[in-house]
């Protein structure tokens, strides 16, 4: 089975323009992501529509592919990148694309390995993603935060994603939910069989997706299955300059 890591990266960002090139320690954020991914994958490619990002990737010796400015999301950028580098090989059932967020410099090789195992251990896996269990150490504010999507899971498969708390515990006070229920946080890294990726990029937006603003609901609504791998590792995404400062503190305090 061939695994290829693709890191979609764009310069434009409403909250943090140019964040792939923002310096974290002495390296740009995109280099951190690339080098972490290479610890678990033989081939990693940055897919971008911006020459500034492409130049930075080439400067540290990374592989980069220029993609169209018309890509509406990272999934579409992954597909366009794959078409360029794979010739026609993406149609091989044993080819899997791992879509790695370009703003998570501390992604761990173990997380990527967990995703890979979803396909190695289960030959029928179409799409895979990661979840992290909430624990009693978490607060109600963390659990109910709409910026943190939750996942309802059964038999290793995602049943539903929501910004609301799922499942709802009827008859239980909210401050007791973490003690009495099982809740999962969605970690936004995906892997797709290449032939499945080809299909999902052609799908139109769906009602649940538009209601929640969660792309993965489009796939579920169209009958695709999403297997989940469980990780205990907390990811640190960089969405704002304040997030970058927190990541810098991680490095200074030798926590990475």
Instruction: Say yes or no to pLDDT of 218 above 90.
Output: yes
Work out the pLDDT band at 69, boundaries 50, 70, 90: confident
Percent of the chain with pLDDT over 90: 79
Instruction: Say yes or no to pLDDT of 87 above 70.
Output: no
pLDDT tens across 103-133, in order? 999 999 999 999 999 999 999 999 999 999 9
Of 154-158, 190-194, 242-246, 251-255, which range is least confident?
Answer: 251-255
Would you say how long the chain is, in residues? 256
d(C-alpha 211, C-alpha 218), whole Å = 11
C-alpha distances (whole Å) from 129 to each of 21, 23, 202 are: 26, 28, 20
Q: How many CB atoms lie within 10 A of CB 98?
A: 23
d(C-alpha 29, C-alpha 56), whole Å = 10
Helices (H) and strands (E) in the chain, counts: 10, 11
Instruction: Say yes or no to pLDDT of 235 above 90.
Output: no
pLDDT tens across 180-214, in order? 999 999 999 999 999 999 999 999 999 999 999 99
The DSSP symbol for 91 reads G
Contact (CB, 8 A) for 191 and 235: no
Q: Under DSSP, is residue 221 helix (H, G, I), strand (E, B) or coil?
A: helix
Work out the pLDDT band at 250, boundaries 50, 70, 90: confident
- Record the tokens describing residue 183, joined without a space: 């809740």
Report which secondary-structure segment, H or E, holds 59. helix 51-59
Distance separating the N- and C-terminal Cα atoms of the chain:
31
pLDDT tens across 38-61, in order? 999 999 999 999 999 999 999 999
Structural domains of the chain ordered from first start: 1-107 (3.90.550.10), 109-187+203-234 (3.90.550.10)
């Amino acid at each position: 089975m061939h695994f290829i890591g693709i890191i979609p990266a764009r310069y434009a960002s409403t909250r943090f323009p140019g964040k792939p090139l923002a310096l974290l320690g002495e390296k740009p954020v995109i280099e951190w992501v690339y080098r972490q991914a290479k610890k678990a994958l033989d081939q990693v490619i940055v897919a971008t529509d911006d020459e500034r990002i492409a130049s930075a990737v080439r400067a540290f010796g990374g592989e980069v592919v220029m993609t169209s400015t018309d890509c509406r999301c990272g999934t579409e950028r992954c597909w366009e990148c794959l078409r360029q580098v794979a010739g026609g090989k993406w149609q091989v059932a044993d080819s899997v694309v791992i879509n790695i967020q370009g703003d998570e410099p501390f992604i761990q090789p173990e997380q990527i390995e967990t995703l890979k195992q979803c396909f190695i251990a289960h030959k029928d896996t179409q799409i895979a993603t990661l979840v992290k269990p909430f624990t009693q150490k978490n607060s109600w504010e963390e659990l109910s935060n709409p910026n943190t999507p939750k996942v309802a899971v059964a038999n290793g498969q995602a049943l539903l994603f929501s910004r609301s708390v799922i499942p709802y515990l009827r008859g239980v006070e909210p401050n007791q939910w973490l003690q009495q229920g099982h809740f999962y946080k969605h970690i936004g890294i995906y892997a797709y069989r290449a032939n499945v990726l080809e299909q999902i990029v052609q799908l139109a937006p769906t009602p649940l997706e538009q209601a929640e603003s969660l792309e993965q609901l489009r796939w579920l609504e169209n009958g695709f299955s999403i297997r989940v791998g469980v990780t205990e590792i907390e990811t640190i995404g960089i969405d704002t300059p304040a997030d970058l400062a927190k990541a810098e503190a991680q490095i200074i305090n030798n926590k990475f």
